Amino acid sequence: MKYWFQIIKQSNSLSIILLLTLFITVMGLLSPIFIIHIFNRYIAFGLQGTLFFLLSGALAVAIFEFVFRNVRNKILCDILISPVKIFKLDLIKNFFERERNNTKRNLIEIIDFNNNFFQFLSPKVQSNLLDSFFAILILIILFFLDFFLATLFLIMVFIFLLLQQRIIKEKNLSLKNLSLTNDEKLIIKELSANQELLKYTSAFKYCGFYFENYLNKKLRIDSSVAKNDAQQISITSFFVLLSSIIVIGFGSIFVVNGDLSIGSLIGFNIFATRALGTISSVQNSFAIIEKTEIYLNECKEFFHGSINRIEGMQLSKILGNFTLKDVSYSFDEGNKYVVKNFSANFNSSKISVVSGSNGSGKTTVAKLLIGLIKPESGEILIDDTNLSKLSLLWYKNQIAYIPQNVDVLNSSILNNILISNPELNEQEVSRLLQNVGLDQELKKSNLTITDSINNNYSKGILKKIHLARSISKNHQIYIFDDPLLYLDNNGKNMLIKLLASLKRSGKTVICFTEDIDVIKLSDNQIELSL
């Protein structure tokens, strides 16, 4: 309930929702009252004018209740859609912008979590929660109509709730026991992604049982859910009928004995039926709330041990002067250090080169400088400010990073550039391609910037796309991991010119490479050793 109030209290529509709920409650109470009077006045005394008046009143009440419910649902939709969207976007953004030690969850699972959360914020669930007050009012009215019948009905409601709760627990337990394991999900994902392997080898014969197991398990899950849903519907229908039988059975005795009017009996039955339906809906809504709590705990688990770097300091001006003091990092928590007690200085208006053999930790140092990973010990200072205190989201916007890996999006060349700077137009993108020598290479390959590209293209073309993307914004810091890798002679010459230009512009340029042509340009050379 606290999440509902957190959302609703931020809206100016709270008073309108509460007022509409009051009107709906009143209309729901008036309708059976009109029915009571029809039986007590018209059927008992045959007053024609009274019948027309009462039927008109009952119809008007029903129409008003319908209209008020629809208006409330529309307002709830308007209120809830925006927070749901913001919640989804924030969670996905956090997925990318947080440093995560827990890598068990993937983005698809996070989106799936969001979809589950939407069930809680659906207008249907929220309407049921609001109508819970209506059910309480009805139960009070029933005791005023007849204490004995109300007591019997309350006992039935208690039994009904116990049975419903048992079915809901069995449903949740079945879903938990039958759900696919992480290993099974991974296998299905990998097999689905390697269709060619399955097609041209005998691998399908070997791993086909994984698919069969998956289908069997999925069928059992679907069957279990359908079975439990059917049980809930059946039990609700049975108890509605049973309550009517018991109420009318005992009530008829009271009517004959003169202890209860026939109108009151019919009204009691209508109230009881509506109350039972409302109670059932409310219980199902609370079951969804319980499921949502599990989801929220999973989200907390996902981000457990993570450092939220979305919030943090933002420097008024960044110069790009780095100081690394005794920085150490290992992939297995101190058992085998990739970088140990590493100290260095990288300054603006200079080209710094970090060299070393394969496995010496060049790429690791690059990721430490970017903020993709966090040192286990030591400090990384940027302009005398500890990197850990800065907003990672802001800091990343100050850096252009060109990795060894030249993978691109399976999209147009234009889109691959725009993901770094969406404000660019096609002419500006074309100039960027010229600056890295990609325009000539595209002509040779009969490609335009609007043509789709993928990782099957030349590594040289893909590398130049990365380079064009890196200079699409006026960053202060440029970090290159093997900058000349995959480039032809023309591309290498263009990159050498680019590095010199960045230096003249006062940028901080850090290259992780063994290439002698880049080392010759350097003002500061640091050797990494295993």
Q: What is the DSSP string of 188-205?
A: HHHHHH-HHHHHHSTHHH
> Which pLDDT value is given to residue 85?
61
Q: CA 267, CA 248: separation in Å to the nearest integer? A: 11
> Which pLDDT value is given to residue 351?
96
For the stretch 297-323, what's the b/e string if a residue is b when 16 or more beta carbons lie within 10 angstroms of its beta carbon?
A: eebeebbeeeeebeebeeeeebbbbbb
Q: Which residues contact 393 (CB under 8 A, 6 or more apart)?
A: 97, 309, 310
For 136, 223, 405, the CA distances from 411, given in Å and listed in that order, are 58, 40, 17
> Which pLDDT value is given to residue 217?
66
Superfamily of domain 2-302: ABC transporter type 1, transmembrane domain (1.20.1560.10)
524 DSSP β-pair partners: 352
Q: Could you tell me how far CA 500 lies from the centroid of its own chain?
A: 44
CA nearest to 42, candidates 53, 31, 57: 53
The CATH T-level fold of domain 322-527 is Rossmann fold (3.40.50)
CA nearest to 70, candidates 62, 519, 115: 62
Q: At 485, is the secondary structure helix, strand, or coil?
A: coil
Q: CA 345, CA 325: separation in Å to the nearest integer? A: 9
Residue 204: both structure tokens together: 């399908």
Residue 405: both structure tokens together: 């890996």
> Which pLDDT value is given to residue 308?
46
Q: CA 271, CA 428: separation in Å to the nearest integer? A: 70
Q: Which residues contact 238 (CB under 8 A, 6 or more apart)?
A: none
**Helix axes 426-435 and 459-470, enclosed angle (nearest 10):** 120
H-helix segments, 303-333: none
> Which pLDDT value is given to residue 59?
84
For the stretch 406-434, what's the b/e string if a residue is b when 16 or more beta carbons lie within 10 angstroms of its beta carbon?
A: bebeeebbbbbbbebeeebeeeebbebbe
Hey, what long-range contacts does 180-187 have (CB within 8 A, 24 or more apart)? 180/214, 180/217, 180/218, 182/104, 184/210, 184/213, 184/214, 184/217
Q: Rounded to two decimals, what is the model's pTM?
A: 0.54
> Which pLDDT value is given to residue 200?
41
- Determine contact, residues 61/30, Cβ cutoff 8 Å: yes
Q: Which residues contact 469 (CB under 8 A, 6 or more apart)?
A: 416, 417, 419, 420
- Determine contact, residues 445/437, Cβ cutoff 8 Å: no
Work out the number of other CB atoms within 10 angstroms of the CB of residue 378: 17
For the chain, the structural domain boundaries read 2-302, 322-527
CA nearest to 485, candidates 456, 510, 464: 464
H-helix segments, 259-405: 262-302, 362-370, 392-396
> Which pLDDT value is given to residue 373?
84
* pLDDT tens by residue, the chain, 530 residues: 444 455 555 556 667 777 887 787 778 777 777 777 777 666 656 555 566 777 787 788 888 888 888 888 777 777 766 666 666 666 655 655 554 444 445 555 555 555 555 565 666 666 767 777 777 777 788 788 788 888 888 888 788 778 777 776 766 665 555 555 555 555 555 555 555 444 444 444 545 555 566 666 666 666 666 666 666 666 777 777 777 787 778 878 887 888 877 777 777 778 788 777 777 777 666 666 666 665 565 555 555 444 445 567 888 899 999 999 999 998 776 568 889 999 999 999 999 999 988 888 898 999 899 888 889 899 999 999 999 888 877 888 899 999 888 888 778 888 888 888 888 888 999 999 998 988 888 888 888 898 888 888 888 898 999 899 889 888 999 999 999 999 988 889 999 999 999 999 999 999 999 999 999 999 999 998 76
Give me the residue label for tokens 């990365």. 466
Work out the number of other CB atoms within 10 angstroms of the CB of residue 478: 24
Q: At 116, is the secondary structure helix, strand, or coil?
A: helix
Length of the chain: 530
Q: CA 254, CA 263: separation in Å to the nearest integer? A: 12
Name the helix (H) or strand (E) containing 521.
helix 516-521
CA nearest to 329, candidates 301, 298, 370: 370
Angle at 174 between CA 170 and CA 180, to 5 degrees: 160
> Which pLDDT value is given to residue 289?
64
